[in-house]
Structure 1
Amino acid sequence: MIIDSAISIIAVSILSVAILDIWQRLSHRVGGLPPTDWAIVGRWLRASIEQRKLFNHPLQAMPAYPNELLIGWMLHYLVGFFYVVLYVILWKTFGILSPTWADGLIFGVLSVAVPWFFFLPAMGAGIMGRKTPQPGTACLSVLAVHSVFGVAIGLLLRWI
């Protein structure tokens, strides 16, 4: 039973993050919204570990690290895994969520706090992307992909 649950969580994690990525690519093709640059995320992680600080890295001016794109993608899927684990804990332990599209949407909308208030500032884009050329678009783009991600988690947990 525990192994089945672990395999299910891993499967839901991979599939829900893949759905997020597909949505982001479609949004880029249809609406011109730039997808996340996972190389810069990998560069941020390496710089954060080496310099022992999370913020204020001149990421655009820094030379590329070897394998930073792979590192960024791995971090992306690892973070997705932790989101799914949190969803399962909120569902199975606390009964706060259930595996439905509606609860998934609520979870996705609430989960946007992490990129708005941690990852965007850590990447140098400011809180809620205020240092980007189009802060409103950046905020809405992150909200959209996290909403899709949350719905995917809710539906996949129901299905798997």
Structure 2
Amino acid sequence: MDTQHIGAVVIIGIGATLLMDGWAWLLRRLFAIPSLNFCLVGRWFGHMPTGIFRHNAIGKAEAKPFECLLGWTVHYLIGIVFAGALVWLTSAKWLDAPTLLPALLFGAVTVLAPFLVMQPALGMGLAASKAPSPWQARSKSLLTHLVFGLGLYLSAWLLNL
């Protein structure tokens, strides 16, 4: 992947993550559905240098300096990495002529990251099995990641205008 493609991946990853965050904002404002607290993601990452990668309840873990900034930064970096993975899997040609289906499918697959890594590490169990309403949490996660996939497509499409 050359420099031009890397720049496009960064823009697409940020755009898709912004759309996903806009979706979370709408859910919170219109339906009072809370979203992930990225400060807690920062707390999780803040504990990693001390060798702590899993928590029984991340909200009860010791707060870390700049955890909100760290959490939001990690959130957007993950969006960029996921955008890069989509381009790598589909080839850079997808950037020139983006199509919706690969982006949506990829968005759906990315839900495995929170299901298998983040939720268990934060104390929510595998695929939010310890959440108060596991199926509601799973459905919301999947829908949010589909919105991310839509954001990948829309961001790539906008780049081509």
TM-score by length of structure 2 reads 0.89
Q: Displacement of 1:117 after TM fit?
A: 1.1
Alignment partner, residue 152 of structure 1: 151
2:12 and 2:152 in contact (8 A); partners too? yes
Whose relative contact order is higher, 1 or 2, with alpha carbons under 8 Å and at least 6 apart? Answer: 2
Tell me the CA shift for residue 24 of structure 1.
0.7
* Aligned counterparts of 1:61 and 1:114: Cα–Cα separation in 2: 22
Contact map agreement 2:57 2:124 (CA 8 A) in 1? no
How far apart are 1:154 and its partner, in Å?
2.1
Which residue number corresponds to residue 42 of structure 1? 42
Q: Report how many residues are paired.
A: 157
Structure 1: segments with no counterpart, 5+ residues: none
Identical residues among aligned pairs (%): 28
CA-atom RMSD in angstroms: 2.0
Distance in 2 separating the partners of 1:66 and 1:129 = 27
Provide the rounded CA distance (Å) in 1 between the counterparts of 2:92 and 2:18: 26
Is the 2:5–2:92 Cα contact (8 Å) retained in structure 1? no
In structure 2, list runs of 5 or more residues that go unmatched: none
Q: In 1, Cα distance between the equivalents of 2:80 and 2:130?
A: 29
TM-score, normalising length from structure 1?
0.90
Confirm or deny: 8 A CA contact 1:104 1:155 kept in the other structure: no
Query: How far apart in 1 are the matches of 2:57 and 2:136?
Result: 23
Q: Please say if residues 103 and 151 of structure 1, whose CA atoms lie closer than 8 Å, have aligned partners that are also in contact.
A: no
Moved over 3 A (4+): none
User: What corresponds to 1:122 in structure 2?
Assistant: 121
